[in-house]
A and B are shown apart, each in its own frame.
Chain A
Amino acid sequence: MPESSLDIFPPKVKDICSSSIECRPSPLRQSSQSSLPLHRNYMLSTFCTEKNVQECLSHISQEVSSLGLPPVWMESGGSSEMNVVAVLNCIYDLIQLHRRGLRTLENMEVEQLKSSSNLDYLQLTSTQLKEQLELSKRENTGLLERERQLQLKVKSLQNCLKNEKEEVQKLQNIIASRASQYNHEMKRKEREFNKLRERLNQLLVDKKEKKQAIDVLNNIGRADGKRSLWKTEKTEAKHEGEMYKTLLSDYDIRQRELLLENAELKKVLQQMKKDMVSILSSKKPTLKDDQHQDDDIQADLEEEVFDSSKESVELYCVHAREKLTNSIRLQWRRLKSHVERLDNQASLAQIGRSKNTDAVSRETHEEEMDRLKLEIQQCKDFIQTQHQLLQQQLSSPYDEEKASLLSDCYMLQEKERFRDEWKTLEEQRKIFERERRNFTEAAIRLSHERKAFEDDRATWLKHQFLNLSPFADSNKPQMSKSKSAFLISKTEASAASAPEKLIKRPSDTTSPTPRCVPLTSPSTAELYPTLCLVPENRSTKPKRLTEHVEESSNFLNGNVPAQHKHWNDREDHSSHTLTKEKTSSI
Chain B
Amino acid sequence: MNFSEVFKQSNQLCKVSPDGKYLATCVQYRLVVRDVSTLQILQLYTCLDQISHMDWSSDSLFILCAMYKRGLVQVWSLEQPDWHCKIDEGSIGLVSSRWSPDGRHILNTTEFHLRVTVWSLCTKAVSYIKYPKACQKGIDFSRDGCYMALAERRDCKDYVSVFVCDDWHLLRHFETETQDLAGLEWSPNGCVLAVWDSCLEYKVLLYSLDGRLLSTYSAYEWSLGVKSVTWSPSSQFLAIGSYDEKVRILNHITWKKIAQFEHIATINNTKAVVYKEVEKRPAVGSDDLSLHNITIGTTLFNTQSKYEICPPPVQVPVVKPDPDRANPKIGVSTLAFSSDSRYLATKNDNMASVVWVWDMQKMSLLAVLEQTSAVRCFQWDPRRPRLALCTGNTKLYLWSPAGCVSVQVPTEGGFQVQSLNWHCCGETLILLGKDQLCLCYMDTDQEDK
Contact = CB atoms under 8 A, between A and B. Distances in A.
B91 A187 contact: no
A228 B120 CA distance: 11
B87 interface: yes
B121 A187 contact: no
B90 interface: yes
B135 interface: no
Given A216-B124, A243-B209, A246-B146, A211 B112 contact: no
Contacts of B104: 220, 222-223
A7 interface: no
Given A220-B121, A236-B169, A247 B91 contact: no
Given A220-B122, A239-B169, A247-B209, A204 B90 contact: yes
B167 A228 contact: yes
Interface in A200-218: 200-201, 204, 207, 209-218
Given A239-B169, A250-B191, A223 B85 contact: no
Nearest to B169: A239
Given A235-B167, A246-B209, A228 B83 contact: no
Given A246-B191, A247-B209, A222 B90 contact: no
Q: For this complex, into which size category does the number of interface residues on chain B fall?
A: 35 or more
Contact of A242 (B58, B88, B92, B146): B146
A216 B121 contact: yes
A223 B102 CA distance: 6
B123 A219 contact: yes
A212 B146 contact: no
Interface string B169-192: 101000000000000000001110
Nearest to B93: A204
Given A197-B114, A212-B126, A228-B123, A239 B171 contact: yes
A231 interface: yes
Contact of B86 (A200, A215, A220, A231): A215
A385 to B, nearest CB: 57
A244 B210 CA distance: 8
Interface residues of A, number: 40
B348 interface: no
Contact of B102 (A209, A214, A222, A258): A222
A250 B124 CA distance: 36
Interface in A245-260: 246-247, 250, 254, 258
A243 B112 contact: no
A190 interface: yes
Interface string A85-98: 00000000000000
B296 interface: no
Contacts of A514: none
A207 B91 contact: yes
A334 B115 CA distance: 69
A212 B117 contact: yes
B241 interface: no
- Specify which of A210, A214, A247, A250 lies most central, judged by the most chain B CB atoms within 10 Å of its CB: A214
A336 interface: no
A470 interface: no
A231 B167 CA distance: 8
Nearest to A227: B122
Interface string A180-191: 000000110011
Contacts of A228: 122-123, 167
Contact of A201 (B86, B103, B115, B126): B115
Contacts of A218: 83
Given A229-B167, A244-B210, A247-B191, A212 B90 contact: yes
B332 to A, nearest CB: 26
B281 interface: no
B83 A217 contact: yes
8 contacts: A200-B114, A212-B90, A214-B126, A216-B85, A216-B121, A223-B59, A247-B210, A254-B253
Interface of B: 58-59, 77, 82-92, 102-104, 112-115, 117, 119, 121-124, 126, 146-147, 153, 156, 164, 166-167, 169, 171, 189-191, 208-210, 252-253
Given A210-B90, A220-B121, A258-B253, 16 more contacts: A187-B156, A197-B112, A200-B112, A210-B91, A212-B87, A212-B88, A216-B121, A218-B83, A220-B104, A222-B122, A235-B169, A243-B171, A243-B209, A246-B191, A250-B191, A254-B253
